[in-house]
Structure formats: C-alpha cells, structure tokens
Amino acid sequence: MRLKDEIAIVTGGGQELVMSGLIDIISVLLILSGLVFFLGASIGVVRFPDFYTRMHAAGKGDTLSTILIMSGMAIQVISDFEGISFLVAIKILAIAVLIMLTSPTSTHLLMKAGYDDGIVPVSNNKKAKINDIGGPFLEESVSDKSEAKKEVKK
C-alpha cells in the first residue's frame, strides 16, 4: 500500500469519526437539557404553594423535557445511518408529538377539575374568593355540584 492510499483511508475515517462525535454531542446535550427541565419541574412541584402553580410546573416541565429527551434519543438512533434506524427515529418522534399534544390537555382538564371541586389558589388577600382572584372559568362553566358554585350563589 502506498502512502497516498493510507492518507485517503485515514482522512475518510476521520470525517466519519468527527460526524459521529458531533451527533453524540448533540444527542447528549439534548438529553441532559431535558433532564435539567425534569429537575426544574420536580422542584416546582415540591416548592410551589398551591395546586394550580404545581400543575403548571408539572405540565410545562414534563412536556418540554420529554420532547428534548426523545429528540436526543432519535438523533442517537439516526447516527447509524441505516434504513431501519430512520424508522425507529420516526416512531420516537411520533411518541414525542403525542406527548406534546396530550400532556397540556390533561393538565388543563386536571386544573379544571380542581377548580370545579373548589380548590382556591393562594392569594395575598385572605378574604378573596376564587372569582375575586380572577379564576380561569366563568360562573356558568362551574358544575352545579361544586363548592365554588355554592360560594358564588351566596
């Protein structure tokens, strides 16, 4: 083998290693940033004062961190550059899109259920009712069985 052939082999393999290393770095950064958002959401759930702010932290943090982690996994799977890897990456991204659509919806419905049960948000004004604070729903949207509806009628 001549020196020219050896140089061609080394440079070709070097570009492949650089590309693989770059994909690994991007993948690790996405996964780590997703874990940081999970940590922030967990701290928010523990530290925030009431049901509504805790649900907000859980819903936003969970959605964003899951999308970041799943994107990092999809990029890592694609690094093989095989046909089957692209199918797996598409499935991973489809799961991320499904979570992106369902997590905010379920958070909203849980908050509405909490409101219908009469859970009052924390306020500096101790005499404020949920409607005085500017609750998220109007009087008509509260179910007849809820405590909040009974307080509104008084």
The tens digit of pLDDT for each residue in 7-22 reads 444 455 555 566 778 8
Is 124 a residue whose pLDDT tops 90?
A: no
Are the C-beta atoms of residues 75 and 116 closer than 8 Å to each other? no
User: CA 154 to CA 152: how far, in whole Å?
Assistant: 6
> Going by C-beta distance under 8 Å and a sequence separation of 6 or more, which residues neighbour residue 93?
70, 71, 74
The confidence score (pLDDT) of residue 7 equals 47
Lowest mean pLDDT among 8-17, 18-27, 120-129: 8-17
Q: What is the mean pLDDT of residues 30-58?
A: 91
User: CA 129 to CA 53: how far, in whole Å?
Assistant: 17
User: CA 93 to CA 34: how far, in whole Å?
Assistant: 15
**Cα three-residue angle 144-135-48, rounded to 5 degrees:** 115
Place of tokens 């307080």: 151
Is 3 a residue whose pLDDT tops 50?
A: no
Here the contacts of 90-98 (C-beta below 8 Å, separation 24 or greater) are 95/70, 96/66, 96/67, 96/70, 96/71
Are the C-beta atoms of residues 51 and 119 closer than 8 Å to each other? yes
Backbone angles phi, psi at 94, to 5 degrees: -65, -40
Q: What is the mean pLDDT of residues 96-107?
A: 91
The confidence score (pLDDT) of residue 99 equals 92
Of 106, 35, 25, 93, nearest to 64 (Cα)?
35
Q: What is the mean pLDDT of residues 62-82?
A: 88
Q: For residue 96, what are its two tokens?
A: 């991320």
Is 127 a residue whose pLDDT tops 80?
A: no
